[in-house]
């Protein structure tokens, strides 16, 4: 893992000289090849890391650039007795030449080794990036690159953890790529403990365990983590139950991949954490969460559906079998609890990574208002869009100060007071308004009415009349 | 539930001042081998409530843990192995956790303690 812990401090520069944020080619200075390979082995969104031998806006320029590149860096990889392969990895190019022999010839490099297409010692990429003919792509200046591949990411991991093959799934199980990315943000690694306080079927913990971390999960829903459900007949498209009546649960998901099962899994509530009140500071290396804000249905915490009288008690004879009722878990309170959890349980340098709802239009305000805590520093945020209007924002915090009860208490009080003083709708209310935009709902209602009655609804007529006047 | 989890869990029901450590009443236990990771063990060691851990180990039939953490714990491989086994390799599959103060019982089924409080306990 050498150097990888500081990967966020690296300076990335656009490799094509343009100013488009979405260019797929970036330069980055790395201390050595080992670091490059280590990064490539964990990265999911980076296809490969290359030692750039040269780049230029056109082929002639590329030839000169490669010729000018340090001879001692090139010779060992071109030497007699070695095997090599050159791959074409163009971007956006529709009609350009993919003739490798011509390209290699144009470079003017003395390849003295033997071409081996199956198992080459040295792999090179010849890249032309030209987006002019593909308007759907972000437009970047035409550029040619040549380089030696140092490390490539292993996208087969995504296939291995594809949810379609997962034994036990819930409606909100995190997809494999996102779960693995979150495990990367949380820097899951052997020797560390990763907690998911809303673990559900354990999809994010499976990803953390893939990277060798110990995992812990909490969920308030006893049905999800404990009971599991009936196993389905393997290969059945329609979810037919297995004939042996076997069942699957969270443990099954870890066993399926031969991963270490969670070191702790319990039914509990983030809002009333069933942990001892002292001495656990710094236990966790990372926290991953996909909190059940539910733009549709909010999360739950323990407590009565309605406020209970002070002296209310469940009758003694009922206690054994009583199923605790839950109360709505307000969005802001859930965030406060999550930040508090991280401030308290993470070790210094540990990461909290979780999703918030987010929109494209109001992004500036949403980023300004991201949750804050004196013990935590916001490291990254990025919006994944579901459509043109909204999506979810992945945020990552790093714990930078030791936990201080007084500081944390004051931070929470201040946050609560600030919200009480504000008459703006909170993020979740704004998201609800966005998602359940009144216009399409009204249009649907009219359509239904018209289909049933054969005429438009009376209020619709009135509205149209008033619009014409 | 393994002893690592037990060492963190407590009863935080309304009115309970000291709900730690929970007494373990095991009905069924199981041993599963776990890869030894010294880095993880030395990281966890200072977080442990040691006497609660030693007692809990006894409750599930595990002996051989020293009553105090040895001074040179990090380099004492034999100690770390014993610690590793008690911390991670023994699972309480079925049983009960009992609050030392209120007597409130938390069931453990399929290795998962149900720590959820009733609405009159929060």
* A359 and A432 Cβ atoms separated by less than 8 Å: no
Higher pLDDT, A256 or B20: B20
Examine residue B121 and state whether it is found in any structural domain, yes or no: no
Among candidates B8, B88, B110 on the partner chain, residue whose Cβ is nearest the Cβ of A276: B8
* Residue B47 domain-assigned (yes or no): yes
pLDDT tens digits for range A78-125 = 999 999 999 999 998 887 677 888 888 999 999 999 999 999 999 999
B92 sits in which H/E element: strand B90-98
Residue of B nearest to A305 (CA): B119
CA pair distance B1, B18, nearest whole angstrom: 21
State whether residue A324 sits within 8 Å of chain B by CB. yes
Task: Please count the structural domains in chain B.
Answer: 1
For residue B86, being part of any structural domain is answered with: yes
Return the bridge partners of A393, or none. A356, A383
CA dist., res. A298 & res. A327, Å (int)? 10
| Closest C-alpha to A213, from A42, A376, A30 | A42
Which residues have CB under 8 Å from A199's CB, separation 6+?
A205, A217, A218, A219, A225, A250, A262, A265
Contact residues on chain A for B31, CB-CB shorter than 8 A:
none
Please give the domain boundaries of chain A with CATH numbers for all domains: 7-154 (no CATH), 170-304+317-421 (3.40.50.150), 439-468 (no CATH)
Q: Which of A222, A260, A264 sits opposite B4 (nearest CB)?
A: A264
Give residue A151's pLDDT: 93
How many contacts (CB atoms, under 8 Å) link A and B?
Answer: 113
The answer to whether the Cβ–Cβ distance between B114 and A216 falls below 8 Å is: no
Beta bridge pairs of residue A377: A398
- Mutation test of the interface with chain B: which of A220, A221, A261, A264, choosing the one with the most B Cβ atoms within 10 A? A264
Q: What is the CATH number of the domain that holds B8?
A: 2.20.25.10
Judge whether B103 lies within some domain: yes
Note whether B113 contacts A325, CB cutoff 8 Å.
no
Contacts of A303 in chain B (CB under 8 A): 119, 122
Residues of chain A with pLDDT under 50: 1-5, 461-469
Q: What proportion of chain B, given as a percentage, has pLDDT over 70?
A: 100
In a domain, B120, yes or no: no
ipTM given for this complex: 0.94
Other beta carbons within 10 angstroms of residue A430's beta carbon come to 18
Residue B112 to residue A268, Cβ atoms within 8 A = no
**Chain A residues inside the 8 Å CB shell of B111:** 251, 265
- Mutation for A interface: B2, B32, B47, B84, most A CBs within 10 A: B47
Phi/psi at A17 (5° precision): 75, 0
A303 in contact with B at a CB cutoff of 8 Å?
A: yes
Q: Determine, for residues A191 and B8 on separate chains, whether the beta-carbon distance falls below 8 Å.
A: no
Give me the pLDDT at residue A146, please: 96
Task: Give me the pLDDT at residue A361, please.
Answer: 86
Mutate to test the interface with A, among B8, B20, B93 (most CBs of A within 10 A): B8
Distance CA B73, CA A84 (A): 51
Write out pLDDT tens, residues B21-63: 999 999 999 999 998 999 899 999 999 999 999 999 999 999 9
- B33 lies in some domain: yes
Contact B9 A225 (CB under 8 A): no
CB within 8 Å: A308 and B112: no
Query: Using an 8 Å Cβ cutoff, are B60 and B5 in contact?
Result: no
The range of the structural domain enclosing residue B99 comes to 3-113
Chain A hits for B5, Cβ within 8 Å: 216, 263-266
SS (H, E, C) chain A: CCCHHHHHHCCEEECCCCCCCCCCCEEECCCCHHHHHHHHHHCCCCCEEEEEEEEECCHHHHHHHHHHCCHHHHHHHHCCCCEEEEEECCECCCCCCCCHHHHHHHHCCCCCCEECCCCCCEEEEEEEECCCCCCCCCCCCCEEEEEEEEEECCCHHHHHCCHHHCCCCCCCCCCHHHHHHHHHHCCCCCCCEEEECCCCCCHHHHHHHHCCCEEEEEECCHHHHHHCEECECCCCCCCCECCCCCEECHHHHHHHCCCCCCCEEEECCHHHCCECCCCCCCCEEEEEECCCCCCCCCEEEECCCCCCCCCCCCCHHHHHHCCCCEEEECHHHHHHHHHHHHHHHEEEEEEEEEEEEEECCCHHHHHHCCCCECCEEEEEEEEEECCCCEEEEEEEEEECCCCCHHHHHHHHHHHHHHHHHCCCCCHHHHHHHHHCCHHHHHHHHHHHHHHHHCCCCHHHHHHHHHHHC
Query: How far is B106 from chain A, CA to nearest CA, in Å?
Result: 9
pLDDT at B79 exceeding the cut of 80: yes
Q: What is the pLDDT of residues A201-232, one digit of tens each?
A: 888 999 999 999 999 999 888 776 666 666 66
Residue B64 lies in a domain: yes
Contact (CB<8Å) A277/B10: yes
Is A268 touching B (CB cutoff 8 A)? yes
* Contact call for A324 and B110, based on CB within 8 A: no
Could you tell me which chain B residue has the CA closest to the CA of A223?
Answer: B114
Q: Which of A290, A48, A15 is nearest to A128 (CA)?
A: A15
């Amino acid at each position: 893992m050498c150097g990888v812990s500081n990967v966020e401090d690296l300076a990335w520069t656009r490799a094509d000289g343009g100013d488009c944020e979405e260019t797929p080619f970036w330069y980055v200075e790395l201390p050595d090849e080992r670091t490059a390979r280590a990064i490539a082995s964990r990265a999911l969104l980076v296809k490969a890391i290359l030692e750039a031998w040269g780049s230029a806006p056109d082929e002639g320029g590329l030839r000169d650039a490669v010729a000018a590149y340090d001879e001692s860096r090139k010779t060992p990889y071109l030497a007699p007795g070695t095997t090599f392969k050159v791959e074409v990895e163009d971007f956006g190019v529709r009609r350009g030449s993919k003739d490798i022999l011509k390209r290699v010839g144009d470079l003017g490099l003395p390849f003295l080794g033997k071409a081996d297409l199956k198992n080459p010692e040295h792999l090179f990429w010849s890249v032309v990036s030209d987006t002019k003919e593909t308007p759907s792509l972000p437009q970047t200046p035409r550029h040619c690159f040549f380089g030696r591949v140092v490390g490539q990411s292993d996208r087969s991991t995504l296939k291995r953890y594809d949810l379609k093959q997962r034994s036990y799934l819930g409606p909100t199980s995190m997809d494999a790529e996102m779960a693995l990315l979150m495990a990367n943000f949380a820097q899951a690694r052997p020797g560390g403990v990763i907690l998911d306080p809303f673990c559900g079927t354990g999809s994010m913990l499976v990803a953390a365990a893939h990277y060798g971390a110990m995992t812990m999960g909490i969920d308030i829903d006893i049905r999800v983590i404990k009971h599991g459900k009936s196993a389905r007949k393997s290969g059945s498209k329609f979810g037919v139950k297995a004939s042996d009546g076997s069942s699957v649960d969270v443990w099954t998901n870890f066993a399926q991949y031969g991963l270490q099962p969670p070191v702790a899994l319990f039914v509990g509530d983030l809002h009333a954490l069933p942990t001892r009140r002292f001495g656990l500071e710094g236990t966790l290396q990372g926290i991953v969460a996909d909190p059940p804000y539910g733009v549709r249905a909010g999360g739950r915490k323990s407590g009565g559906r309605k406020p209970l009288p002070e002296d209310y008690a469940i009758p003694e004879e009922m206690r054994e079998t009583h199923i605790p009722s839950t109360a709505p878990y307000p969005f802001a309170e859930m965030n406060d609890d999550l930040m508090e959890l991280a401030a308290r349980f993470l070790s210094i340098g540990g990461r909290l990574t979780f999703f918030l709802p987010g929109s494209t239009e109001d992004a500036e305000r949403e980023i300004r208002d991201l949750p804050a805590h004196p013990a935590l520093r916001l490291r990254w945020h990025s919006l994944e869009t579901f459509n043109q209007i909204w999506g979810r924002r992945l945020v990552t915090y790093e714990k930078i100060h030791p936990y201080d009860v007084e500081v944390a208490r004051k931070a929470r009080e201040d946050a609560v007071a600030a919200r009480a003083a504000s008459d703006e709708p909170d993020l979740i209310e704004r998201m609800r308004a966005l998602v359940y935009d009144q216009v399409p709902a009204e249009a649907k209602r009219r359509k239904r009415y018209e289909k049933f009655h054969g005429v438009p609804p009376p209020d619709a007529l009135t509205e149209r009349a008033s619009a014409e006047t | 539930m393994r002893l690592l989890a037990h060492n963190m869990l407590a009863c935080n029901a309304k009115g309970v001042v000291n709900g730690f450590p929970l007494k373990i009443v095991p009905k069924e236990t199981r041993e599963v081998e776990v890869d030894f990771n010294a880095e993880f063990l030395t990281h966890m060691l200072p977080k442990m409530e040691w006497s609660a851990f030693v007692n809990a180990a006894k409750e599930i039939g595990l002996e051989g843990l020293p009553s105090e953490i040895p001074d040179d714990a990090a380099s004492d491989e034999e100690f770390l192995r014993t610690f590793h086994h008690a911390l991670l390799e023994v699972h309480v599959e079925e049983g009960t956790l009992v609050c030392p103060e209120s007597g409130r019982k938390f069931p453990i089924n399929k290795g998962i303690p149900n720590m959820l409080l009733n609405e009159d306990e929060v």
